Chain A
Amino acid sequence: MTHKILITVLGLLVVLGLAPGTHAQEVIKIGIVAPLSAPGGVETGQALVEGAKIAAEEVNASGGLLGKKVELVIGDTSGQPEKGTAVMERLITHDKVVAVGGEAHSSVALAEIEVAHRYGIPLVIAEAWADSITAKGYPEVFRLTVSNSLIYSKAAKWIKDAGFKHVAVIGENSDWGLGVIQVFKDNLAGAGIKVTAFSAERTVTDFTPQLMQLKNMTPPVDFLVDGFTGAGELLMVKQAHQLGFAPSKKTAVLGAGMDTLYPGFWETVGEAGIYVLSNPAGLPGIPKTKTSGGFAKAFKAKLNREPDAVAMEGYDSVMVLAQAIKASKSTNGKALIDALENKVNWEGTRGTIKFNKDKTPPWAYHMWMDVPVFIIQYTKANQDPSQAAILWPEKHATVKGYIRPPK
């Protein structure tokens, strides 16, 4: 009997011995949440992380924050809300980050804001667009990208002005996808434009039966909104083109998700990508700011291509937090939130970032209202988004209007 006790005690000692200890805080840790594995949009997440890393390196190169070095702690949320919750818990309670930035999926962001709110840690959303993220009104949450209402109301207006008559939307079953459907319905239905919309799981890979159905509708669908992210977004374009549906002379297609901005897009869709529309929340160098040039150079050196909106957002989120820390001379949650609200006025890669305090409309709270939005159209295969034709806004437009494919 004694040896049974001995075994147990030995076992416990081993377990205790393995318990990790805590290290002294010589650094300031900032958490970054992003999708870095399936079913999340991996390339989007990686762009975000790369942008953030460049920012951290820059900050450290110029002396760090409050005399300490900045350390990024990256959490992979896989595009799954429960992982977002778990990652936030770990970042805040285990890694003891002072603030978090990032996220590219709205559903995950919505789970993350709950944790941020519970612990009073500021969370700067980089690339999640659902209105409810900021509409909830949590003081910890800030956003430096667009919201669905902000961007798709503009896109809808453009669609109206360009003369399209029947818009079909296939959205993914996420807060973002469903939001896209809702905003298009709200903005177009009133203007006499027919909207046919339905949603599907993000993991669907075969849209062919539904696309065939849409192709054969009357009145004919002349505009398809691809409201998916990740593989689904790419496959929808590929399959729509295969069926001769869109992009085609009769029907345009807008890739609403950001996976149209990466080389992976061209790998999968090939020629089908020409004439596809996209709506990035930023293009490198438009406008040219103090930081946009330097960032573009650093990004190109690392990844051999021009930066995209998401990478810029990753960079901006870290920089904005850095400025807040410097301005408030503290890493305390409340102080940072106050600094973000009142003291941040930072010339980011896409413009000067300042967070709004107004709560009308609800989603505008803690948003950067002047975030640039573009509607671009690819004109050549394997084209980088920075080289694509800009259709809107007029002041930056490089072509007169929508380019209709010859067939």
Chain B
Amino acid sequence: MLFLSQLANALVIGTLYALMSLGLSLIFGVLKLVNFAHGEALMVGGYLFYVLASLQLPLPLALLFSTPLLFLFGVLLERIFLRTPYQRKMARYDEYVILVTFALGIFLQNLAFPIFGPYNRQAPSLFNRTIRLGELIVGGDRMSGALVSFATIGILIFFLYRTSLGKGLRAVAQNPGAASIVGIKVLRMRSVAFGIGITLAGVAGALFGPIFLVNPEMGTSFAVKAFVIVVLGGMGSVKGTIFGAYGLAIVESFGSILLPDPTRSLAYKDAYGLLLLMLVLLVRPQGLFGEKERPA
């Protein structure tokens, strides 16, 4: 029974992880860059939802309103910081985006401190009661978060595979040159992809907030997890990312139980994922489901 409870908890958390990581994966797939500000995008979403909720908006509406705001935020960031260097084919663009997204993350996090204060805020969750299925107990806040994540992921997959905009994104991810020949506006797709990526992270943050409290640093540890997941599953691969998300959640839940010394096991909880990250990067950098990076 304990095993099933742990598994249930892992699956619930894993769904939330998947939502947050899919944004990162999409950004990499289409823009070919790792967004080092992904954790802060999550934080922005967390605060946005908290603020809207404290304005007495009904919670589903707060979530709904957050979405286009987050999308706009993402598009704005891409336009300001990422588009021009790309268009001008800046020398060492790869290094530049690392620096700029990293700096962006730091800026956003340190902006949140004076604006919102260092406190941990409790955002209201969509559903608070504990859910019991016989002996299985899951917190209502986690469960509702997981359900919304699940629905969102479903919408995303539908969007990517069934709509022309989604297909356009996938085309740019596969081959920007060919996509532009066929008439797809590559620059616009890049903005859209970044916007969606930020939105996914932000929604994840809105769902995480009620569970783990909203504070300026909430994004950092999740960002690292997202990196692990995306690398493990294969950057740019939706299937891989989802697989990686559940994989990490399970490793974290069970890993911390199975190590004999409970103090050590809890202390090293975040380390399992990191070891996995480094192992994958060294042995199979394209991840489990990704494609090998073709040199230019």
Q: Which positions in A face B, CB cutoff 8 Å?
A: 36-39, 42-43, 173, 198-201, 203-206, 208-210, 212-213, 216, 230-231, 234-235, 239, 242-244, 264, 267-268, 270
Contacts and interface: CB of A to CB of B under 8 A. Distances in A.
A276 B64 CA distance: 36
Interface stretch (B39-47, B209-217, B273-281): B209-217
13 contacts: A36-B118, A38-B118, A198-B262, A199-B263, A199-B266, A206-B212, A209-B257, A216-B2, A231-B120, A239-B139, A242-B139, A243-B137, A243-B139
B9 A208 contact: yes
B122 interface: yes
Interface in B111-135: 113, 117-120, 122, 128, 130, 132
Contacts of B217: 38-39
B163 interface: no
A243 B256 CA distance: 18
Given A200-B263, A212-B6, A216-B2, A242 B130 contact: yes
A68 B221 CA distance: 49
Nearest to B141: A242
A36 B212 CA distance: 20
Contact of B212 (A212, A235, A267): A235
B267 interface: yes
Contacts, number: 78
B152 interface: no
A234 B267 CA distance: 19
Given A209-B9, A234-B213, 18 more contacts: A36-B118, A37-B118, A38-B118, A38-B217, A39-B217, A199-B263, A200-B266, A201-B266, A205-B212, A206-B13, A210-B266, A213-B257, A231-B120, A231-B215, A234-B120, A242-B140, A244-B137, A270-B128
Contacts of B5: 212
B1 interface: yes
Given A200-B263, A200-B266, A210-B256, A216 B212 contact: no
B119 A42 contact: yes
Contact of B262 (A210, A239, A242): A210
A37 B6 CA distance: 33
Nearest to B132: A244
A65 B113 CA distance: 36
A213 B113 contact: no
Contact of B120 (A208, A210, A216, A268): A268
A95 B169 CA distance: 58
A390 to B, nearest CB: 28
Contact of A264 (B119, B128, B267): B119
A209 B267 contact: no
Contact of A268 (B122, B266, B267): B122
Interface string B1-12: 110011001000
Contacts of B118: 36-38, 42
B216 A212 contact: no
B253 interface: yes
Contact of A198 (B119, B137, B263): B263
Interface in B172-225: 212-213, 215-217, 221
Nearest to A196: B262
A270 B213 CA distance: 13
A284 to B, nearest CB: 23
Contacts of A38: 118, 120, 215-217
A37 B119 CA distance: 8
Nearest to A36: B118
A198 B1 contact: no
Nearest to B221: A203
Nearest to A170: B266
Interface string B150-180: 0000000000000000000000000000000
Contacts of A267: 122
B248 to A, nearest CB: 13
Nearest to B210: A268
A325 to B, nearest CB: 32
A201 B267 CA distance: 6
A193 B278 CA distance: 44
A310 to B, nearest CB: 16
Contacts of A210: 256-257, 262, 266
B213 A235 contact: yes
A181 to B, nearest CB: 9
B120 A209 contact: no
A200 B221 CA distance: 16
A206 B10 CA distance: 11
A239 to B, nearest CB: 7
B277 to A, nearest CB: 19
Most buried by B among A37, A198, A204, A209: A209
Nearest to A266: B122
Nearest to B255: A209
A235 B122 CA distance: 10
A37 B120 CA distance: 10
A173 B269 CA distance: 14
A268 B212 CA distance: 10
Nearest to B253: A209
B120 A264 contact: yes
B10 to A, nearest CB: 9
A234 B122 CA distance: 11
Contacts of A173: 267
Contacts of A230: 120
A217 B130 CA distance: 21
A360 to B, nearest CB: 32
Contacts of B117: 42
A286 to B, nearest CB: 29
B89 to A, nearest CB: 35
A209 B130 contact: no
B49 to A, nearest CB: 16
Given A38-B215, A42-B119, A200-B263, A212 B9 contact: yes
A231 B213 contact: yes
Contact of B266 (A42, A43, A204, A235): A204
